[in-house]
Amino acid sequence: MVEPVKSIVTPIRLEYDYTPGRATSRFLRGIAQHRILGQECPSCLKVYVPARGSCPRCAVPTEREVDVQDSGTVVTFSIVRVPSENIHFELPYACASILLDGAGIPFFHVLQGLAPEEVRMGMRVKARWVPTEKLGPTIASIECFVPSGEPDAALETYGEHT
Amino acid sequence: MRDVAVLSFAQSTAARETERNEVEILMPVVREVIAASGLERSRIEFTCSGSSDFLQGQPFAFVMALDAVGAWPPIRESHVEQDGAWALYEAWVKIQTGEVDSALVYGFGKSAAGNLGDILAMTLDPYCVTPLWPHADSIAALQARAWIESGKGSERSLAEIAARNRAAARSNPHAIVSGTETVDELLSRPYVASPLRAHDCPANGDGASAIVLAAGDLARSVSKRPAWIRGIDHRVDPAALGVRDLTRCRSAELAAQKAGVARDKIDIAEIYAPYSHEEAILREALGVPDTASVNPSGGALCAHVMMSCGLQRIGEVARRILSGEADRGVAHAAHGPALQQNLVCVLEGD
């Protein structure tokens, strides 16, 4: 009696050199200098952060660079209770979609410095950067966002992004 | 059948795109093809693309490419994990249904991000062949060896094909390699995977191409001489290399027959042959007459942008018809190991 083959192991590994593109590269270089750079659509004037080089609505290249503030408003959020190997935050923590002041689309980051049940839409937050000597071309140069203590923003200021 | 024509073609190729991402490569190509079509962007009713997320190593990367198209207000859109030539086929079918009268088709690939020769091993039998990780050049070499042993050609015939393509590529600004070497010079070079030498293998690169299609009256209203698609068909051979005769290409023969290649004269043939021997096999399968100009662009040997190269073959034939340089031509696209899948498109001017 021949033992049937029930499973085989076929290792697969592919390696890639990722190119973020010109626009996102400029954004990442800005982050290394403590700046958040967006790009403005010449047609609809929306400011994209991080910029990917085009306005997906108007299909035109975005070239004009705009500094965006490192403060903003929580548009929506989710509480993470499931561990993951590349996450070093203590559970549970909040992931938030944040509309930075001066930006036309929300930006995704982690929210710290408050109990998960205190997180709410409209909450005002600001970036906590890593120490200057540790700044690099990575989104991890912003450690997290924390409450700024300002009064909550009115729904009209962020409602279109919810 | 509705008459469908190519209105315009645009392309971008480079040996390696080190700075631009896929959207940044694609955007100028899409703008150029729409501007040249004579149609307003808002008149284009369907968009279909061809690409492979395996090239980028990012899931759903093709969705991000829509940034280059302008998907607002919401557009009718589709994607194939195939060369853009198959996206063109889907768009042609969509126009045949009568649902739309026009379409934008594009294909793009940036294989420099990974190792294309290894990535293509993923298209093989996942149990018994992929785990061996045969390089694409090695699979092609098996076919080239079988072709030579069948007595249909020799290493010299391979070098002759390469020399002709490299010479033709000198006048193509989108070619990645070109050359003026003699056949003997090429034959003195080392093997990459015997019997194939470097010039018998594709000059892989990064880029994109796009075509605008329109149905009968719409095409006539914006173009004096549209490039009409008179026949288009695609067929598939078994994937397993051991169950088919590698020295001929039955799926290409069938597709050529269904597309009606032999119905009239052929001025020009653009054949997707990234390896020298494939041009000879396909020339026979498609029934390309000796009088036809074959791969005047230098073909896939001189510029091979994975997922765009087949659409570029259609574009290269179409642009010569649009300009009046040729009256009738055949374009071919291939996919899969050793010419497994083949698409044939016959184009004609009025």
Instruction: State how far the Cα of B305 lies from the Cα of B254, in Å rounded to an integer.
Output: 26
pLDDT in tens, A37-48: 999 999 999 999
Instruction: State how far the Cα of B286 lies from the Cα of B294, in Å rounded to an integer.
Output: 12
Q: Is B77 on the interface with A (CB under 8 A)?
A: no
Looking at the domain B4-113+204-227, which fold is it?
A: Peroxisomal Thiolase; Chain A, domain 1 (3.40.47)
Q: What is the ipTM score, two decimals?
A: 0.83
Q: What is the largest CA-CA distance in chain A?
A: 77
Q: List, in sequence order, every beta strand (DSSP E) within chain B.
A: 4-14, 47-50, 77-80, 102-110, 191-193, 196-197, 206-215, 227-236, 268-270, 293-294, 328-335, 341-348
Instruction: State how far the Cα of B101 lies from the Cα of A119, in Å rounded to an integer.
Output: 50
- Measured between beta carbons, which residues in chain A are less than 8 angstroms from residue B32? none
Average pLDDT over residues A127-147: 96
What's residue B174's pLDDT? Answer: 97
How confident is residue A59, by pLDDT bands cut at 50, 70 and 90? Answer: confident
Is B113 in contact with A19 (Cβ distance < 8 A)?
yes
Give me Rg for the CA atoms of chain A. 20
- Measured between beta carbons, which residues in chain B are less than 8 angstroms from residue A57? 70-72
Q: Is A128 on the interface with B (CB under 8 A)?
A: no
What's residue A87's pLDDT? Answer: 77
- Measured between beta carbons, which residues in chain A are less than 8 angstroms from residue B127? 8, 10
Q: For B74, name the nearest residue in chain A, comparing CA atoms only.
A: A57
How confident is residue A33, by pLDDT bands cut at 50, 70 and 90? Answer: very high
Quickly tell me which residue has 């935050």 as its tokens: A89
Is A53 in contact with B21 (Cβ distance < 8 A)?
yes
Q: Is A130 on the interface with B (CB under 8 A)?
A: no
Is B66 in contact with A56 (Cβ distance < 8 A)?
yes
What's residue B6's pLDDT? Answer: 98
pLDDT in tens, B61-98: 888 888 888 888 889 999 999 999 999 999 999 999 99
Say if residues B214 and B101 touch (Cβ distance below 8 Å). yes
Q: Is A57 on the interface with B (CB under 8 A)?
A: yes
Average pLDDT over residues A47-71: 91
List chain B pLDDT tens, one digit each, 350 residues: 999 999 999 999 999 998 998 999 999 999 999 999 999 999 999 999 999 999 988 888 888 888 888 888 889 999 999 999 999 999 999 999 999 999 999 999 999 889 998 899 999 998 889 989 999 999 999 999 999 999 999 999 999 999 999 999 999 999 999 999 999 999 999 999 999 999 999 999 999 999 999 999 999 999 999 999 999 999 999 988 999 999 999 999 999 999 999 999 999 999 999 999 999 999 999 999 999 999 999 999 999 999 999 999 999 999 999 999 999 999 999 999 999 999 999 999 99
Residue A44 has which token pair? 């609809």
